[in-house]
Structure 1
Amino acid sequence: MAPPFFSNSGPDDLSNWSSLVSNSIAFRHHLHRHPELSWKEKNTAAAIRQALDQLGIEWSVCADTGTIGRLAQSAKGPHIGLRADIDALPIHEANDHDHASTADGCMHACGHDGHSAALMSAAAWLKAHEDDLPGPVTLLFQPAEEGGHGARKMIEDGALKGLDAIYGWHNWPAIPFGKAVCPDGAVMAGNGTFRITLKGAGGHASQPENTRDPVLAAAAVTMALQQIISRRITPQNAAVVSVTSINAPSGETVIPDSAALAGSIRIANPDDRARIDAMITEIATAQAAAYGVEAEIEIFPRYDATINHPAEAATMRSAIEADLGADWLFEELPVPIMASEDFSYYLKELPGAFALIGADDGNGHHEPCHSPRYDFNDRLLPVITRIYARLAGAPLPEQSSLSQD
């Protein structure tokens, strides 16, 4: 069981900014020590629900390991949702800090522990000022973002019921701390994966003429697929097709019967998905035939592009600027970035916005997401708490209490 969210203070002390920040850091470190993979976040969910109980926040189960918290439900203003993802990745942590993962082969390598702690910190602050909120606030602690389509299941279970808008964010180590991006339109790409099995006829390496070589065909398919973006998609549309593995195990003197390719697709424009999928099928089939080999092609759409709604993006930019200052925009980062997010499901259902907030403060927080050396920057916790408080219309802490940020 997790320690109480206010383990370093008491529930009456949560309007004290310094106590709130220290408790959110402790909560983040607890989640980091005990990561769980998508759809297996049982203990993570228990910790979140225990903390909500301790804060006196009404909650309900959503999507099994997901949790919905509710504040100011009788308020008459616009009803907003604030979202955090809670799952970890199948990566063995290479860090040795005190809060390193205790689960072998599993770690919070994308910062979902920090996202959850920031939302819990915001929940505590909003609860302390619940009577001042102009409209209802729904807190979405979502499972299975890492390829598990958790947002889709949350929607199916009614997570967006009654909401007028939704907001989310992701820490981003490639952006300096104190900078961010939150554009109108696409902020993150859509994605998909593919598998291609090339079936030929193996034989002795000394007699290739008596075989139908799937390895040679795999090389040709790989080279041809990498040219989809450079020759078949307009340069104005950001897209990526990457062959990420070739598997054709055999002996040094043996041409195998088959070879398998796998890869990733990234798209910024949703209209490009069907075109790229069709080209992968067309090219793989034609190249295989040229080498006397058959191609079996499987394409798996994953997430659509995360596309901000202009009015809500403007609202979120105002909240970011109020906290980070007038020069908050990191113009050096082209958007959309080609990573993907299942927050896209929410933005297809109702207005909202998603921001990338910089993590790199020069103190080791430059390691990219999904690296075994990654660690979330705890300095982001008070930043996001204030941004979420602004979005919800809550009062903010006195400036004098922000010195430890």
Structure 2
Amino acid sequence: MQASWSRLLDETLTLRHLLHRLPELTWQEHNTAELIRNALDRLHIPWRACARHGTLATLAPTAGGDHIALRADIDALPITEATGLDYQSENRGCMHACGHDGHTAVLWGAAALLKRREAELPGPVTLLFQPAEEGGHGAREMIAEGALDGIDRIFGWHNWPAIPLGKAACPDGPVMSGNGTFEITLTGKGGHASQPELCRNPVVAVGAIAVNLQQIVAQRLAPQDAAVVAVTSIDAPSGSTTFPDTAKLGGSIRLGRPGLREPINALIRQISENIAHSYGVVAQVEIVPRYEATINHACAARVYREALAGEMGEHWNMENLPLPIMASEDFSYYLDNIPGAFALVGMAQEERFAIPCHSPRYQFNDALIAPMVRTFCRLAGLEPQECGPPG
């Protein structure tokens, strides 16, 4: 059993490093999907394509118990890698800087173990290899093509460098925030800086709006509400002696619960338009909603916590982590449709494994592979001795 388990971990690690070398961007995961499907073929697990580059595979389809789903995301980010790893990305400008290669490898490793014990599974288990999590609404498209048909509960996870290895968070209720983006275009009247009375300078209006948008969270929302309104870019190209006709600013919105979206959006519009008017310019505000908050269902979160405790021990829970974290996940689409839960699993062990996601120096900690493979097996209803020994 030990030799078999060690061999499976080696194969899972090899797949992870291969995926890392060959990352593909959102909705471009053609070769990634082929790698995953070939790996499932080696396990003799039937699969079907879903949402273009997504893949669905079901084990024990006729088993009588609850039908659960386990999900991994497969896309990478438009980031040039700077880790220096010997399996560093070969696709310049594209990097698995969020650990989706690790998530994918873990799901495949769990599939390999579950396939060995398929006859003992209490209910069907569907594996969801999902494309386009990084802003592409891949989960929504998977659902539209039947990924949740017949499924009772769904589970997912994300590695989290801010949590130590051996710790995790899986609360009842919100675990990750919803998000959106905004872009505000100010149109004035350009001209020479020596004649401001003949111009309508959009640059100063942009500055005033940027400062005042920060008051939404500080002054217009309750202190108990988790929210962020962040100005992340300003674009007002011109010369040193001239005013431009237009200026733009853009930013990000994060909200801990769905009910905050409308009031925050309304305040962004109100503040921008009123300040623009006071400066004699016109504001055009575009707000794009992205993902809703990822909100765990209590019944599924309890099952997940039991699996994590069984794997990591009684002190697994990262109790002092402020939740929800303000990052976002399209796993929220699944939880809006069926019961399920999502966990943040720590990986900080050395300095290199504490570097945040979306950094060019980010590194996934391979020490997560074994415990998360076993955790997925626990969620599928297999006892620990059936999932390989710890460590």
- TM-score normalised to structure 2 length: 0.98
Partner SS, residue 173 of structure 1: strand
Runs of 4+ in 1 over 6 A off after TM superposition: none
Does the CA contact (< 8 Å) of 2:182 and 2:251 recur in 1?
Answer: yes
Alignment of 1:332-347 (within 5 A): 332-347=320-335
Alignment of 1:268-279 (within 5 A): 268-279=256-267
Select 2:127's aligned residue among 136, 139, 155: 139
Match of 2:313 in 1: 325
Partner SS, residue 78 of structure 2: coil
Select 2:186's aligned residue among 194, 198, 201: 198
Change (3 A) 1:400 1:56: closer
The superposition leaves residues 134-191 of structure 1 with CA deviations (integer Å, 9 ceiling, x where unpaired) of 0000000000000000000000000001000000000000000000000000000000
Match of 2:208 in 1: 220
Match of 1:303 in 2: 291
Alignment of 1:83-94 (within 5 A): 83-94=71-82
Q: Aligned partners of 2:275, 2:386: CA distance in 1, in Å?
A: 66
Match of 1:108 in 2: 96
Does the CA contact (< 8 Å) of 2:5 and 2:388 recur in 1?
Answer: no
2:107 aligned with 1:119, yes or no? yes
Q: Aligned partners of 1:329, 1:61: CA distance in 2, in Å?
A: 36
Does the CA contact (< 8 Å) of 1:57 and 1:71 recur in 2?
Answer: yes
Select 1:174's aligned residue among 162, 182, 201: 162
Match of 1:35 in 2: 23
- % same residue: 58
Partner SS, residue 96 of structure 1: coil
Q: Aligned partners of 1:304, 1:295: CA distance in 2, in Å?
A: 27
Match of 1:259 in 2: 247
Distance apart, 1:209 and its partner CA = 1.9
Does the CA contact (< 8 Å) of 1:15 and 1:125 recur in 2?
Answer: no
Q: Aligned partners of 2:355, 2:320: CA distance in 1, in Å?
A: 18
Change (3 A) 1:352 1:268: same
Match of 1:158 in 2: 146
Distance apart, 1:99 and its partner CA = 1.0
Distance apart, 1:105 and its partner CA = 0.2
The superposition leaves residues 58-107 of structure 1 with CA deviations (integer Å, 9 ceiling, x where unpaired) of 10000000000110001000000000000000000001111100001000
Change (3 A) 1:266 1:205: same
One-letter amino acid matched to 1:148: G
Change (3 A) 1:249 1:240: same
Does the CA contact (< 8 Å) of 1:14 and 1:128 recur in 2?
Answer: no
Does the CA contact (< 8 Å) of 2:169 and 2:345 recur in 1?
Answer: yes
Q: Aligned partners of 1:315, 1:383: CA distance in 2, in Å?
A: 16
Distance apart, 1:398 and its partner CA = 7.2
Distance apart, 1:399 and its partner CA = 9.5
The superposition leaves residues 346-369 of structure 1 with CA deviations (integer Å, 9 ceiling, x where unpaired) of 000000000000010125201100
Change (3 A) 1:400 1:388: closer
Q: Aligned partners of 2:370, 2:194: CA distance in 1, in Å?
A: 66
Change (3 A) 1:399 1:393: closer
Does the CA contact (< 8 Å) of 2:374 and 2:388 recur in 1?
Answer: no
Q: Aligned partners of 2:388, 2:303: CA distance in 1, in Å?
A: 26
Q: Aligned partners of 1:99, 1:55: CA distance in 2, in Å?
A: 25
Q: Aligned partners of 2:233, 2:341: CA distance in 1, in Å?
A: 34
Does the CA contact (< 8 Å) of 1:218 and 1:260 recur in 2?
Answer: yes
Distance apart, 1:205 and its partner CA = 1.3
The superposition leaves residues 104-143 of structure 1 with CA deviations (integer Å, 9 ceiling, x where unpaired) of 1000000000000000000000001101100000000000
Change (3 A) 1:140 1:15: farther
Partner SS, residue 129 of structure 2: strand
Partner SS, residue 296 of structure 1: strand
Match of 1:356 in 2: 344
Q: Aligned partners of 2:254, 2:190: CA distance in 1, in Å?
A: 34
Change (3 A) 1:129 1:305: same
Q: Which runs of 5+ in 2 are unaligned?
A: none
Change (3 A) 1:151 1:171: same
Does the CA contact (< 8 Å) of 1:18 and 1:401 recur in 2?
Answer: no
Match of 2:57 in 1: 69
The superposition leaves residues 13-57 of structure 1 with CA deviations (integer Å, 9 ceiling, x where unpaired) of 998111111111110000000000001000000000000011010
Change (3 A) 1:273 1:34: same
Q: Aligned partners of 1:400, 1:278: CA distance in 2, in Å?
A: 53
Distance apart, 1:395 and its partner CA = 3.5
2:13 aligned with 1:59, yes or no? no
- TM-score normalised to structure 1 length: 0.95
Match of 1:237 in 2: 225
Does the CA contact (< 8 Å) of 1:129 and 1:395 recur in 2?
Answer: no
Q: Aligned partners of 1:232, 1:283: CA distance in 2, in Å?
A: 11
Partner SS, residue 20 of structure 1: helix
Q: Aligned partners of 2:185, 2:100: CA distance in 1, in Å?
A: 35
Match of 2:195 in 1: 207
Match of 1:5 in 2: none
Does the CA contact (< 8 Å) of 2:180 and 2:252 recur in 1?
Answer: yes
Distance apart, 1:332 and its partner CA = 2.5
Q: Which runs of 5+ in 1 are unaligned?
A: 1-12
Does the CA contact (< 8 Å) of 2:80 and 2:93 recur in 1?
Answer: yes
One-letter amino acid matched to 1:360: A
Does the CA contact (< 8 Å) of 2:171 and 2:296 recur in 1?
Answer: yes
Partner SS, residue 366 of structure 2: coil
Q: Aligned partners of 1:363, 1:114: CA distance in 2, in Å?
A: 18
